[in-house]
Structure 1
Amino acid sequence: METLDETLGHERDFAKGRIFVNRSLNLQRIKFFGFDMDYTLAEYRSPEYEELGTELVVERLLSIGYPQDLKEAKYDPTFPTRGMFFDKVYGNLLKVDQFGNILACYHGFKLYTSTEVRDVYPNKKVQASEPRYFILNTLFNLPETFLMAYLVNYFDTHEDYRELPTRKGVESGNVLISYSSMHQDLRGAVDWVHMRGTMKQITLDNLDKYVVKDSRLPLLLRRMRENERKVFLITNSDYDYTNKLMKHLLDDSATLPPPGTGSDSFAGWKSFFDYIVVDARKPLFFGEGTVLRQIDEATGTPKIGTFKGQIETGSVYTGGNSEQFCDMIGAAGEDVLYVGDHIFGDILKSKKQHGWRTYLVVREVDEDLQVLVDNADIQQKMTALEDELDHLFSGLDSHHTARPNSRPILEKLKRLAFDFDSCFPSKQGSIFRSGSRQTFFAMQAARYADLYASSCTNLINYPFSFFFRAKAQLMPHEYDVSHHANVSSGQMTSTPRALRRSPVAGKETSKRRPSPSTQLRRFQSFVHDEDDEDVYDGEKK
């Protein structure tokens, strides 16, 4: 019975199956595991699903009067990446770093030069909070990112249209099309396809074509129940779609009962979960929410009136809000680890509103990591050039008036950074960085996601007593001390010897026995990490 189970427990290696840690987290303290469904429990096949989304959105645009020539639009999986900003004023797609500095700018499919970027954005900087920018953070946004570039390119290059003097759109005769209205139409078409169109039905009619069926998923949920954890599902999808999709993913495995339980224990997908909420309307769910109702499973529609009783295992509910939900199931803040793919709707809001621990699913992680491994030589060359640049200015102070010629080194660095970005499948490079600079998406992931991985099923590779230890985060002055020591000794590690730890949590590699006062200072220095309260030398007190 457990043969398949056992073979799936040892797939964690350097390039796949891993979970990465932003903030330390002790799984032993987690009492509730919560999951989103779309792109979390249910992984959609790429590029097939994006191609379907593109086709249906184009059909909707044609139905509201857009040119029939748009039928020629075919999704290009090598163009879009997540985390891009769309400037609704000037029609540009922007890749932005954690401080709002522009890393790359696309107008349609044209990549602007640095001079062209400064012509539109003199400071090469944007503010994410400004309403003119729409952030395309989710995997559902990939067709939208492509089509926004396609529409801008189509109208800018069409012989019947000319660019407005303000550069904020195009015109033809007495017709004016601003980039803002273009974006509004596209947003409306995308929402219509997902909420009122045929996309869900086409998906359900072709589940094998569009949905990945991962055999590890039922095993993971099963192990959670065996380890006496509560499991819940909170999805924005309606009951009918959720029911059919989860049946496809879990019902085949629901006939395999856990050891020592009755034969009916896992007799349907709902029995993998203690609590199920559909039509949650996240992120609204994490605020004021909507009316909580129970689903009549015979009809698939909500029962009338507001549900006020105790949530029952095996029943399905719709709406509500997170505060009400936590009260009903008896969950408090850090008792919950919530797993989702939407950095705003799932991760940021649940973290801010209730202090839930968070696990961000970033499908691109494994791909990104493989590129890093395969192109380590480029990174080493860039590091060597940065050291050469530092050396060029070493020994100079305010007395020196001659300026060292750094241009050749900077040009080499620029070319290497471009070569490195070109190694990624997307023309826009990595979702996490450009050259040595982290993206806005990476900053959000680091700030709000305690853990992140390419799949929720990576959890199956870790025991439920596992302590996820975050690595020390170095300030520039700490890194400089480390780098100086490593260069002097010929080592290439990026972590100071004083901060390195052995694989056992809490132990250090230094052989010198610390004094009692040192031990006290060390204990005090880690009190910010609340999970350390339960762990000493890797064991629970």
Structure 2
Amino acid sequence: FHGNFPSKDLIPPSVCNLLNSSTIYANNEVSLAEVDIYGFDYDYTLALYSDALNTMIYNTARDFLIEHFKYPEGIRKYDYIPNFAARGLHYDIQKGLLMKIDAFHYIQLGTVYRGLNPVPDEEVLRLYGGTHHVPLQQVSGFYGKGPKVKQFMDIFSIPEMTLLAVANDFFISNDIEYDPEHLYKDVSEAIGMVHIKGYMYKWIMQDLEKYILGRDETYAVLHRLVSHGKKLFLITNSPFSFVDKGMRYMVGKDWRDFFDVVIVQADKPHFFNDCVKPFRRLDGNGDLQWDKINSLDKGQIYKQGNLYDFLRLTGWRGSSVLYFGDHLYSDLADLMLRHGWRTGAIVPELDLETKVVNTEQYAQSLTWLQALTGLLERMQMHRDSQSREVLQDWLKEREELRLRTKNLFNPQFGSIFRTCHNPTYFSRRLCRFSDVYMASISCLLNYDLSYTFYPRRTPLQHEAPLWMDQLCTGCMKTPFLEEMAHIR
């Protein structure tokens, strides 16, 4: 076996190109026949944005850091690095380290970055007291922020992670003493200013074509749902003028006719978990009105409010509601855990991830990785020196394969869904807070509105002997593989 990468013959033709990025994946069984009401976030849900937006956010926040916070001019020479960071990473605020953590709170060695450079495994172990485990209380804040560690969960945070890495890199490479906590706070504020001062809204409104993707699909989804008698609502943190301009571009000037309720500047996640702010109505110009809100009417625009009043005024409850959003914490967690709504997570990264998984290179690497792991498991009881030597070679080869498969996704941090064989912390949250997940809402166009999504039954560890054919053949003989091949 040793050193022989599996031949193509080991990979059945149906394995490559098996996954389709237009598929909706189920964590929980959901019948669309039971869903009468569809709710949507706006940014990165109804409106998907091009990568050009990340560059603009980064550049503007970097300039704020220099001009407003008086950071050294040398930081300006760092341009945005498009594929450096990935969603779902954790940042150790006190140590200034960006890293990937798995579902069991273990740091994936090789994915810890100080500035733009990886931190050696030995140093990571030393920094974390001889372990690569991050204690629960540091990362377990419900919205992804523990006292010392912050998890970056939304797509808007990718420029923020990049700016943190760049600023750390500047101070380290120029041997300038600094406090990583101050840096984190300043970068967060600089990024916040881009949003608070409305720069992002202005850029998008000035060049909708450059920044907004998939306009036809958004129209098609909304049109299809309404024509099947479904009720729609929109809850977004963005201001009305911005949403109105984007929706006019994607859907047309009568876009509000599609929605039964439209809520802007909702202040999520607080909208979902406290009952303090009342709804305010906006007039056609977007100006606040002062009348008391006793009903949420079609054709009106509402601001702020809270979910408790929303539920009281609409009567929309439980699993008849399916809400789509991109932020697992701000959009979906409360709705699923406290209110029993169905939730759909929008994960645009699935596009790239499924492309990688469909490559022959990935299929071969994974198949051989699974085979090697099976061999290691069975051969470890052989104690003679020759066997031990072979085992060491196999372990080394397994590490090389893991690195190779990681690099196919992102050379720094790998897949957002996996750390080697374990799910990532992001994956765990995705499974916990979403019933279904997909690359974009346009995936709905591939399914009948009475379709039932059934999650795949995957083996629990104690059931694994029933699935032994997976052990040494990777994904080749996964149950349902042939049947799934038709999903395109």
TM class by shorter-chain length? 0.7 to 0.9
Q: Measure how far apart 1:294 and its partner are.
A: 3.7
Aligned counterpart for 1:377 among listed residues 343, 364, 369: 364
Q: Does 1:199 align with 2:200?
A: yes
Find the partner of 1:276 among 262, 271, 295: 262
State how far apart, in whole Å, the 2-side matches of 1:460 and 1:23 are. Answer: 20
Partner of 1:254: none
Distance 1:372 1:108, change over 3 A: same
Distance 1:395 1:475 in 2: 28
Superposed counterparts of 1:452-491, under 5 Å? 452-483=437-468
Give, as a single letter, the amino acid of the residue that structure 2 aligns with 1:224.
Answer: L
Q: Aligned equivalents of 1:485 and 1:298: distance in 2?
A: 60
Partner of 2:299: 314
Alignment counterpart, residue 114 of structure 1, candidates 105, 121, 124 = 121
Structure 2: segments with no counterpart, 5+ residues: 1-16, 141-145
CA contact (8 A) 1:41 1:456 kept: yes
Q: TM-score, normalised by structure 2?
A: 0.88
Counterpart check, 1:155 vs 2:171: yes
Question: Aligned partners of 1:31 and 1:22: how far apart in 2?
Answer: 20
Question: Please, which moves more after superposition, 425-434 or 188-197?
Answer: 425-434
* Structure 1 residue 101 corresponds to structure 2 residue 84: no
1:365-404 map, 5 Å: 365-374=350-359, 375-393=362-380, 404=388
**Aligned-partner SS, 2:113:** strand
CA 1:426–1:314 in structure 2 vs 1: closer, same or farther (change >3 Å)? Answer: farther
Post-superposition shift, 1:393? 2.7
- The match for 2:157 among 141, 150, 157 is 141
Is the aligned partner of 1:298 residue 2:306? Answer: no
Contact map agreement 2:215 2:249 (CA 8 A) in 1: no
Could you list the runs of 5+ residues in structure 1 that have no partner in the other structure? 1-11, 162-169, 171-176, 252-266, 504-541
Match for 1:45: what amino acid? S
Q: Specify the code of the residue in structure 1 equivalent to 2:457.
A: A
How many angstroms does 1:454 deviate by?
0.4
Instruction: Specify whether residues 401 and 415 from structure 1 end up closer, same or farther in structure 2 by C-alpha distance, changes over 3 A only.
Output: closer
Amino acid at match of 2:299: G
- Residue matched to 1:83: 88
Aligned to 1:60, which of 46, 60, 64?
64
Which AA in structure 2 matches 1:74? D
Preserved contact between residue 22 and residue 449 of structure 1 (Cα < 8 Å): yes
In structure 2, relative to structure 1, the CA distance for the partners of 1:199 and 1:95 (3 Å cut) is: same
Mapped contact 1:32–1:231 kept (Cα < 8 A): yes
Residues 103-126 of structure 1: CA distance to partner in whole angstroms, max 9, x if unpaired?
021111111222111011122011
Residue type of the alignment partner of 1:195: I
Letter in 1 for 2:35: I
State the one-letter code of the partner of 1:205. Answer: Q
Distance 1:94 1:402, change over 3 A: same
The structure 1 residue matched to 2:400, chosen from 410, 415, 424, is 415
2:19–2:357 contact (8 Å) kept in structure 1: no
Shift of residue 378, structure 1, vs aligned partner: 0.6
Match of 2:150, SS state, is: strand
Match of 2:181 in 1: 180
CA separation of 1:105 and 1:157: change in aligned 2, threshold 3 A: same
Q: Which residue of the partner structure matches residue 263 of structure 1?
A: none
Q: CA deviation at 1:395?
A: 7.7
Partner SS, residue 87 of structure 2: coil
Moved more, 450-459 or 219-228: 219-228
Q: For residues 55 and 389 of structure 1, what CA distance do their matches in structure 2 show?
A: 49
Does residue 223 (structure 1) correspond to residue 239 (structure 2)? The answer is no
Distance 2:472 2:87 in 1: 37
Larger radius of gyration: 1
Given that residues 153 and 327 in structure 2 are in contact (C-alpha distance below 8 angstroms), is that contact kept between their aligned partners in structure 1? Answer: yes
Does the 8 A contact of 1:204 with 1:245 survive in 2?
Answer: yes
Contact 2:296–2:313 under 8 Å retained in 1: yes
Task: Tell me which amino acid in the other structure corresponds to 2:133.
Answer: K
Q: 2:412 aligns with which of 427, 440, 462?
A: 427
Q: Which residue of 1 aligns with 2:3?
A: none
Q: Distance in 2 between matches of 1:58 and 1:249?
A: 31
SS of the aligned residue for 1:301 comes to coil
Tell me which amino acid in the other structure corresponds to 1:337: L
C-alpha deviation, 1:292, in angstroms: 3.0
Matched, 1:354 2:339: yes
Aligned to 1:214: 215
For residue 215 of structure 2, give the secondary structure of its aligned residue in structure 1.
Answer: coil
Match of 1:239 in 2: 240
Kindly tell me: are residues 327 and 157 of structure 1, through their superposed partners in 2, closer, same or farther at Cα, counting changes over 3 Å? same
Superposed CA deviations along residues 316-344 of structure 1, whole A, max 9, x for unmatched, are 10111112112211211111100000010
Partner of 1:537: none
Q: How does 1:242-257 map to 2 (within 5 A)?
A: 242-251=243-252
Structure 1 residue 485 displacement after superposition: 8.6
CA shift, 1:450, in A, is 0.6
CA contact (8 A) 1:56 1:199 kept: no
Give the aligned partner of residue 425 of structure 2: 440
Whether the 8 Å CA contact 1:486–1:493 is kept in 2: the answer is no
* Cα pair 1:392 1:404 within 8 Å, conserved: no
Answer yes or no: is 1:50 the counterpart of 2:54: yes
Structure 2 CA distance for partners of 1:485 and 1:152, relative to 1, 3 Å:
closer
Partner of 1:208, secondary structure, is helix
CA distance in 2, matches of 1:207, 1:487: 50
Match of 2:25 in 1: 20
**1:152 partner SS:** helix
In the alignment, residue 249 of structure 2 is paired with which amino acid? H
SS in 2 for 1:308: coil
- 2:87·2:157 contact (CA, 8 Å) conserved in 1? yes
Say if 2:481 is the partner of 1:494: no
Residues 1:491 and 1:16: Cα distance change in structure 2 (over 3 Å): closer
Q: Are 1:486 and 1:492, in contact at CA under 8 Å, matched by a contact in 2?
A: no
SS of 1:137's partner is coil
Query: Cα distance 1:178–1:477, how it changes in 2: closer, same or farther (>3 A)?
Result: same
- Percent identity reads 27
Compute the RMSD of aligned alpha carbons.
2.4
Number of residue-to-residue matches in the alignment: 453
* Preserved CA contact (<8 Å) 1:293 1:303: no
Relative distance call for 1:282 and 1:440 in structure 2 (3 A) is same
- Is the CA contact (8 Å cut-off) linking 1:341 and 1:362 kept in structure 2? yes
The verdict on how the C-alpha distance between 1:362 and 1:485 changes in structure 2, with shifts beyond 3 A counting, is: closer
Aligned match of 1:529: none
Q: 1:312 to 1:98 in 2, by over 3 A?
A: same
Contact 1:483 1:494 in 2 (8 A): no
Give the distance between the partners of 1:300 and 1:73, measured in 2 at CA: 39
RCO greater where, 1 or 2, for CA within 8 Å and sep 6 or more?
2
